[in-house]
Amino acid sequence: LLEVKHLKKYFPLKGSKVDYLKAVDDVSFTVNEGEVLGIVGESGCGKSTMGKTLIQLLTPTDGEILLNGENIATLSHKKVRQKRRDMQIIFQDPFASLNPRMKVFKIIEEPLVNFGIGTKEERKQRVYEVAAQVGLTQKQLERYPHEFSGGQRQRIGIARALVTNPKLIVADEPVSALDVSIQSQVLNIMKDLKKEMNLTYIFISHDLSVVHHFCDRIGVMYLGKIVEVADKHELFNNPKHPYTKALLSALPKSHPSKEKERIVLRGDVPNPANPPSGCTFHTRCPNCMEICKVTPPTLKSISEKHDHDVSCLLYEEKMERKL
Ligand code: SF4
Ligand code: MG
């Protein structure tokens, strides 16, 4: 359904024409129809920027975004609008993303109006339909967002994202702002809708347990790059990248995939405006070799069967021969 090739999103740094913050730096992956691809990483690793770039809320600096084979990164404005109907986003903070002065009905209807879909009556029916799917009554639609709880607001956000009948949903930390007790409710709604509407999700989160519960395949991001991607069981049972291993080791003790020993990474995430040379993880990597400081690894397949790719010099063929 979606194929992303060498996607880059650079932001020019203030007062400099030559320096860029490489928020998303040469990211490639595919998402199959009906799949849930999780993207995990610490805050500031570029996951949200990637999500926004995918659905064209931000213009990519370089690279291709192929939706059903068509590169939406280079489409004309008009055509992008049509494609945008097929890709929608759910944001982390449902409250900040809902217009406080609009009634919920209008909020959910808005994408239909923007895309010029349906007559007034048809739009009304569609709003009622999708509201019912997320568990909102017609009476509730006449209220304002501040009258709802966090979980209900996220239902509104989901209804708005689904009203145009999209194929692909980018969900950016959709439950992170919610109480744990509400999280599973919202995730279950998303799961049910996926089945009913034959949706495909890209699920962005910093929370490995949530991703483990919800996703089929998982990509791990560090400083704007995907460092490892594999189907979820493979990633949890057979992690290869030192960063993935460290993330997994920080899971709560009760988690079945918990590594025996906690791997504590030294230092903080480096400033993405000034990333380390070579492998950008080398300043924190417990397995760092001399060559890692100068040679950047590339994402390479290590198992076709499990769709397992990793970007680490420990696994590059040439390296193995040298070692
Ligand atoms: Fe660590 Fe080197 Fe692999 Fe980077 S390339 S993750 S520094 S071992
Ligand atoms: Mg974010």
DSSP readout, 83-101? HHTTEEEE-S-TTTTS-TT
E strand spans, the chain? 2-12, 20-31, 36-40, 62-67, 70-71, 87-90, 168-172, 200-205, 217-222, 225-231, 300-303, 308-310
Q: Quick one: tokens of 20?
A: 């860029």
Q: Is the CB of 242 under 6 A from ligand 1?
A: yes
> What is the model's pLDDT at position 77?
74
Q: Look up the pTM and report it.
A: 0.91
C-alpha distance from residue 112 to each of 81, 159, 193, 212 (Å): 12, 12, 19, 33
Report the separation in Å between the CA atom of 22 and the middle of ligand 1, taken as the mean of its atom positions: 20
Ligand at shortest distance from the CA of 314: 1
pLDDT tens, residue by residue, 185-213: 999 999 999 999 999 999 999 999 899 98
Whole-number Å distance, alpha carbon 83 to ligand 2 midpoint, is: 24
Residues of the chain with pLDDT under 50: 323
The per-residue pLDDT for 227 is 97
Q: Is ipTM over 0.95?
A: yes
Alpha-carbon gap, residue 239 to 230, rounded angstroms: 9
Best residue among 222, 244, 310, 312 to mutate for probing ligand 1, ranked by most atoms within 8 Å of CB = 312
Return the amino acid letter for 101.
Answer: R
pLDDT at 18: 65
177 lines ligand 1 (CB under 6 A): no
The pLDDT of residue 206 is 92
Ligand 1 centroid to 283 CA: how many Å? 9
pLDDT at 239: 95
Q: State which ligand 1 atom lies nearest to the alpha carbon of 293.
A: 7
Which domains are present in the chain?
A: 2-86+166-322 (3.40.50.300)
Residue from 123, 209, 116, 194 nearest 158 by CA: 194
- The answer for 119, left when phi > 0, alpha when psi is -120 to 50, beta otherwise, is beta
CA-to-CA separations, 47 to 127, 139, 229, in angstroms, rounded? 30, 37, 14
List the alpha helices (DSSP H) in 103-207: 104-114, 120-133, 150-162, 180-197
DSSP 229: E
- The predicted pLDDT at position 306 comes to 83
Torsion of Cα atoms, 164 then 110 then 136 then 127, to 10°: -50
CA distance 288 to 279: 9
Distances (CA, A) of 311 to 80, 134, 220: 32, 39, 10
Whole-angstrom distance, CA of residue 218 vs CA of residue 307: 10
Of 282, 283, 274, 313, the closest CA to residue 297 belongs to 313
Task: Please answer whether residues 7 and 61 qualify as being in contact, where contact means their C-beta atoms are separated by less than 8 angstroms.
Answer: no
Tell me the CA–centroid distance for residue 276 and ligand 1, in Å: 12
